[in-house]
Structure 1
Amino acid sequence: MNKFKMRQLKIYPKYQRTSQWRAKFVPEIKLCGEWLKDLGFDYGEHIMVKFENDKLIIEPVGELRKSSQLRIWKD
Structure 2
Amino acid sequence: MAEEEVDVDEEDVFLAFAQRPSPPRGPLRRAMDKAFFIFLVLFLTLLMLEAVYKLLWLLPWEKFGDWLLRTPQKEEELEL
TM > 0.5: no
Structure ranking higher in helix proportion: 2
Higher relative contact order (CA 8 A, sep 6+): 1
